[in-house]
Amino acid sequence: MILSMTGFGRAEGVFEGKKISIDIKSLNSKSFDLNIKIPLRYKEKEFEVRKILNDRIIRGKVDCYINIENLEETNDVKINRSLIDSYMNELKNIASDGPDFEYLKMAVRLPDAITSRPDELTEGEWESLAKIVNNAVDKFQEFRKTEGKILHEELERNIKNIDKSLAEVVPYEQVRIDAVKERYMKTLKEFENVDETRFYQEMAYFTEKLDIQEEKVRLSQHLKYYSEVMENEDFNGKKLGFISQEIGREINTLGSKANHAEIQKLVVMMKDDLEKIKEQTLNVL
């Protein structure tokens, strides 16, 4: 089954007055390359989030954005009154002729006079975060499957085009051999005392060099194998890339042996379809 490497998924959830939203998107890449932006509150769980994404996404250049928004008013600020009083008394001991308001302004700027007291990340909140991450990945995978179906149709169409062009080569095979024989026979008549045995040996050698039967058989097998891998194997992008290289080798050899204008045209058409296959295969997981 074909899966695209490009994908997008978004999921949201609410936990105890906090709205958590996660966006995941990816482009094609040879390996798993993750860029993650995570709030400071969840920084301690970054490794676990990365592991979930790595295990499920497998390959691609991935961006993951995790945002948190407080839906309820919270008071996380603590004013240390006793410490501020101590600061003010010490300041008065140094200079006692100032108003109390000025001492207060200086005291609140000193260390630990005002502190924030965020609540700790609980196991329940982490489980909620992990669930939202997995939901985002589920939607991301659905996107990949949808894109993969479109890719599969395009690849299958291009494979069939190459197979069709290969079948159209057949009528020209004998024609080009006959044309070569006729040309050489005509040349032979212009000379006297030619060793006909040697001539036919050379003709047989030349004909063998022009023979493209092996290339046709191998190319047909590669095309069939490409379709089988597409249908039956998961995470097959790299393997399809290797097969497309082999297809390219056979098409190039076919072109070098063609020695016929119509076959050359068909080879150009096959190369055009192959380039589309290579480009599309880069986006297969």
Look at 66-75, 89-98, 273-282 and tell me which has the smallest mean pLDDT: 66-75
Mean pLDDT of 117-137: 86
pLDDT in tens, 186-216: 766 666 666 667 666 666 666 666 778 888 8
Q: In this model, does residue 75 exceed pLDDT 70?
A: no
Note the helical H segments in 10-97.
Answer: 46-57, 81-94
Counting residues of the chain whose pLDDT is more than 90, the rounded percentage is: 40
Please give the pLDDT value at position 273: 93
Model pTM score: 0.70
Confidence of residue 223 (pLDDT cuts 50, 70, 90): very high
Structure tokens at 3: 């899966």
Alpha carbon separation from 85 to 80, 98, 112 (Å, rounded): 9, 15, 12
Which residue, 253, 230, 231, is CA-closest to 240? Answer: 230
* CA 265 – CA 267 distance, rounded (Å): 5
Q: How far apart are CA 157 and CA 90, in angstroms?
A: 85
Tens of pLDDT, residue by residue over 139-161, are 999 999 999 999 999 999 999 99
What confidence score (pLDDT) does residue 143 get?
93
pLDDT, residue 285, reads 84
Residue 256 has pLDDT above 70, yes or no: yes
Whose tokens are 């062009």? That residue is 165
Query: What domains can you pick out in the chain, each with its CATH number?
Result: 7-73+123-144 (3.30.230), 77-116 (no CATH), 146-281 (no CATH)
For the segment 123-129, the average pLDDT, to the nearest whole number, is 90
Average pLDDT over residues 103-130: 81
> At residue 49, does pLDDT exceed 90?
yes
Look at 112-116, 123-127, 196-200, 275-279 and tell me which has the smallest mean pLDDT.
196-200
In whole numbers, what is the pLDDT of the chain averaged over residues? 85
Give the model confidence (pLDDT) of 154-186 as tens digits: 999 999 999 999 999 888 877 777 777 777 667
**Residue 112 pLDDT level (bands cut at 50, 70, 90):** confident
